[in-house]
Structure formats: C-alpha cells, structure tokens
Amino acid sequence: MKGKILILFLILNVSFAFAQQDTESARRDIIKFGTEAEIANLIQMLRAENVDFLDDEIIALVENTRNQRILTSVFGFFGERGRGGLEDRAMRAIVERDDETNETIFSAMDYLGQLRIVDAVPVLMELLDTEERRFLNSGFRNLGRASSGDSEIADEVAEFLVDFYIYRDPGADNLSVIINAIGETGSSKGVPLLIDIAANTDERFPLRMAAVSALARIGDEDGLDAILSNVTTDNPNVRSTAVEALGPFSGEAVDRAILDAFRDSFYRTRIAAARASRDRKLEAAVPFLRFRAERDDVPAVRDEAIRALGAIATEEANEVLNNLFSERRNPDRVRILAVDMYTKNTGGRNFAQLIIELDEARRRNHTNLYNGFLRVVGETVIDGDTSEIENIATRFMLEGTIMERLFALDMAANNNLTSLEGHIVTLARDRNEGISRKARRIADQLGIEIPEEEA
C-alpha cells in the first residue's frame, strides 16, 4: 500500500513539473507567434503575477514590431516597473513618428519620462520644437521628468520650458502642464517665473496652484515667500495647495502656517496640513494629528493624519497609533491603517496583539478587517525573536486558505524563515499555480533548493 502511495505521489509531482513547464513554454510561444490580443492578455497576466522571467523575450518582440496594441501594452508594463531595456525602441518611435500611431508615441514618451531617461531629452525637445499640438501635452510632461536625472540638462530644459511659456504659443490648456514640467526638472532656473505666477493674485487659480506645487518640488528657499503668501488666500483650493507645498521647507513661519491649517474648515486644507506634517516629520503637530485621527468627520482627513503619525514615529505618535488600532469601535480602515503604521515603526512589537485581533475578526466574520490585518501580518518584519511569526506562518502553510498561504510565504521571505524550508518545498509543488510559483521564487530568495525529484 505504501509503495502505491509513493508511486502516485511521484506521478503527481512529475505531472506538476510538466504542467509548469508547459505553461512557461506556452507563454513563450504566445510572445513568438501570438496575436496582439493574446500578447496583451499575457502582459496583463504577467502584471498581475508581478513576474519578470519573460522580459528578455518581450524586449526582443518589440524591437521588430509596430503593432500599436503590443507596443503600448509593453511600454506600460515596463514603465510601471521602472524596467529598462526599451529606451532605444521608445526613442525610435518618436523619431520615426510618421510610421507609428499616436498611441504608440504617447506610450513611448511616458516610458521615457517614467524612467527619467536623460538621453531622451534631445529627442523630446526636437518633437516639441515642431509645435505639433497633439504631442505638446505629453511632450512637456515627460521632458520635465526625463531631464531630472542630470542637473545641467535640467537647467537647460527649465530654460527651454520658460521660453516656451513666455514667448511661444503652447495653448491655454498646456500652460499648467509646462509649469508642472518646470517643477519636475528640479531646476532653480524656473523659480523666477514660478514666483511671478504664484504671487500674481490676478492670475487664474489653476496656474497659481500649479506654480505653488512646482516651487515645492524644486524646494528653492527663494520660492518660500510666494508659497506663504497663498496660505491665507480666500480661494480654498489655492490655500490647501499652498499648505501642502510647505512640506519641503523649514522655519518658524512654516511650522506656524502648518499648525494653523489644521483649524481650516475646508477639509482639503486639513489634509494638506497632515501631509506637510508628514513630510516635515513635525513633532509639534502630533496633538493636532491625534485630534484629527480620532474625531475628524472626513475619513480622508483621518487617513492622512494616521499616515502622518506613522511618518513622525515618536513614542507619542506610536502610542496614538496603537490606541487607534486597539479600539474595536473604530472604523475598519482606521484600525488597519493605524496598525500598519505602528507595526512598521516598532518592528512588530505588537505582533501578539495583532494576531489576537486577526483571529477575532475572523471569528466575527469581519472579512474586510480580517483581510486588512492579514496583509499587515504578511508584511511584518520582526525585530528580534521570530518564533511567533514562525508559528503563524506554519499554521497558514499547513491549513490556511490560498490567501493565507500566500501571505505566509511573504512572512517567510520578510523574516528569513529558512526553518520553514520543508513547508516552502511542499508549497512549491502546490496545485495552485500562483502559490507554487511564489513558493519557488521565495525558495530561491532564501537559498532553499527544491530537490530535483520533487520539482
């Protein structure tokens, strides 16, 4: 009987190995021979699985195609991961734009901008010099991004954009795009123009807001007075933008303006105050943030207050976070966000309590709360003794749901739990392809070898 079971076990393992090989082979065949729809669907699957083992094959594919759907899918997939390899193809799409669709050119520009490819700056400037209306918006936006990786190039681009704004005709709908692009360069060359726009009370509100935000991105002290001048303006949207723009700056006037903004009746200004406090790690804001996190009637304000407390991360701030998490009458989103911030700040000091609340949420069938706590558990990195998280990971690996087993693998990876080698090897042979693939990836990360006969 034992012999039959062993034979069956080996047959299943071999079958699984062949099935996995067949899947990878089928995907490579799609890249080589598939239709645009099949390739686009494959890209969606790879995006969902967050895997990169087919990147080289995909790069080879786009080098020799002008298919718009394939190119836009691939540029988007690589761009959102910050994955290089398509720079030359993207620049070629812009240079040879008469042979490409508009969608391909836009996606190529976005890719170059997302990866901040300095070598693309001359190509983008040449495109903008044509003043073709269809390319201006995307061209300005991505030129600013692409130039930010080199200070000398950024200065050149900032001057180019200022010149375009003042002396050429980009169209009213592109003015704020140019302002934002100047901010993206990070160059002080654009600060005088931005100050003029931000301080001009006769200027349109959207342009003043864009200029204030751009000054914040550049972070030049010369722009601070222009930002402060908008903190008390009558228009609530300009006011909230100016408060949030104070984050990169320092000084008594800045601190006072941020704290005063917590009293603003316009909720976006209170959100801006929380974000500026977060950026500044402003300890003086902790009492205001606690009040907002506990009592504000706008959920988005409470969320931003909690995030700011997490960034400030003093003992007082962490105590507020732990209290927000521990109070079961608080909304689920408040408890989940608070425990996430607290756990990251303290190296899992509250891990035992987190597991108690996790199990309580499951017992009460509070699905959203349980899933939120489970995600935090999966992301936890323990400082010191890892026995508790090892026990939970083992429990999930042995008897958990698909989601619990996936998060258990995260726990193993995040905490270097090589003691779970046997369970990880077992999950690498799981019938669920997502679990097996993730287990194999984490086994490789932890230096765990999957025995040949069990693969």
pLDDT in tens, 154-176: 999 999 999 999 999 899 999 99
Mean pLDDT of 65-75: 90
Contacting residues for 258 by C-beta, under 8 A, at least 6 apart? 243, 246, 273, 276, 277, 280, 282, 285
Q: Please give the radius of gyration of the chain, using alpha carbons only, rounded to the nearest integer.
A: 27
- Burial class of residue 451, CB neighbours in 10 A (0-12, 13-18, 19+): exposed
Mean model confidence pLDDT for the chain: 91
pLDDT given at position 256 = 97
The residue among 277, 284, 415 whose CA lies nearest residue 348 is 415
pLDDT greater at residue 10 or residue 73? 73
For the stretch 398-430, pLDDT in tens is 999 999 999 999 999 999 999 999 999 999 999
For the stretch 330-389, pLDDT in tens is 999 999 999 999 999 999 999 999 999 999 999 999 999 999 999 999 999 999 899 999
Which of the residue ranges 6-20, 61-75, 238-252 has the most confident prediction, judged by mean pLDDT?
A: 238-252
The residue among 336, 335, 277 whose CA lies nearest residue 304 is 277
